[in-house]
Amino acid sequence: DAGVIQSPRHEVTEMGQEVTLRCKPISGHNSLFWYRQTMMRGLELLIYFNNNVPIDDSGMPEDRFSAKMPNASFSTLKIQPSEPRDSAVYFCASSLGHGYTFGSGTRLTVV
Amino acid sequence: SQQGEEDPQALSIQEGENATMNCSYKTSINNLQWYRQNSGRGLVHLILIRSNEREKHSGRLRVTLDTSKKSSSLLITASRAADTASYFCATVLISNFGNEKLTFGTGTRLTIIP
């Protein structure tokens, strides 16, 4: 298995632009998580899905952030419009209930 | 928001020594997990301990859990340079509907000096 695949690995965008981050979980895993990591706030849970259904999105910072999971093999995290304070590393993780497998992350820089 | 607080924030030891990191949390949990993160990389799952377990071993790793004190510790024995990384504890709460929520602590930055 190739593990959790995230794309792109790096994204540099201008303030105000729309950004879409993508994640392909491990086949068969029924839970998917989006995290954001910054030096100031550490690892923050943004949203998680169980069987493609959003369960808890209380960590989504504001309405500019949205996440979807249209099927078991794909999820997106969208930021529109992006702001410099959104700069962070965004991780996707999937699980079948015994330990979580993380992707390599997307490093987002908003200038 | 952070569920766990880790102590110390940073730790430097000589290669071959043992490293101990502690984690405290605030709410009831179903299990607690430890992860390692090398600089610029994703997190790697190390070990999981359930709320009804008190101690667990995996290779050079030893994890303890004290649910009465809401704390856990990770011991790495005979440390190696390759153990240099950040270590995070993460608590898991399973809802009545069976949904899991994994929340991370603040992490300990471990440096092994060759």
State how far residue A14 is from chain B, nearest Cα, in angstroms. Answer: 23
Check pLDDT > 90 for residue B5: no
Check pLDDT > 80 for residue B68: yes
- A50-76 confidence digits (pLDDT tens): 999 998 898 998 899 999 999 999 999
Residues of chain A contacting residue B1, judged by C-beta atoms under 8 Å apart: 44
Both tokens of A53, joined, read 């259904």
Determine the pLDDT at residue B2.
45
Determine the pLDDT at residue B1.
40
Cβ <8 Å between A45 and B102: yes
Residues of chain B contacting residue A104, judged by C-beta atoms under 8 Å apart: 41-42
- B75-107 confidence digits (pLDDT tens): 999 999 999 999 999 998 887 777 778 888 889
Determine the pLDDT at residue B3.
60
Average pLDDT over residues A37-56: 91
B101 contact A CB<8A = yes
Cβ <8 Å between A93 and B102: yes
A109 contact B CB<8A = no
Determine the pLDDT at residue B27.
87
When pLDDT is cut at 50, 70 and 90, the band that residue A41 belongs to is confident
Cβ <8 Å between B45 and A105: no
Range of weakest confidence among A16-25, A44-53, A75-84? A44-53
Residues of chain B contacting residue A91, judged by C-beta atoms under 8 Å apart: 42-43
Residues of chain A contacting residue B95, judged by C-beta atoms under 8 Å apart: 55
Average pLDDT over residues A13-27: 97
Comparing alpha-carbon positions, the chain B residue that sits nearest to A10 is: B40
A56 contact B CB<8A = yes
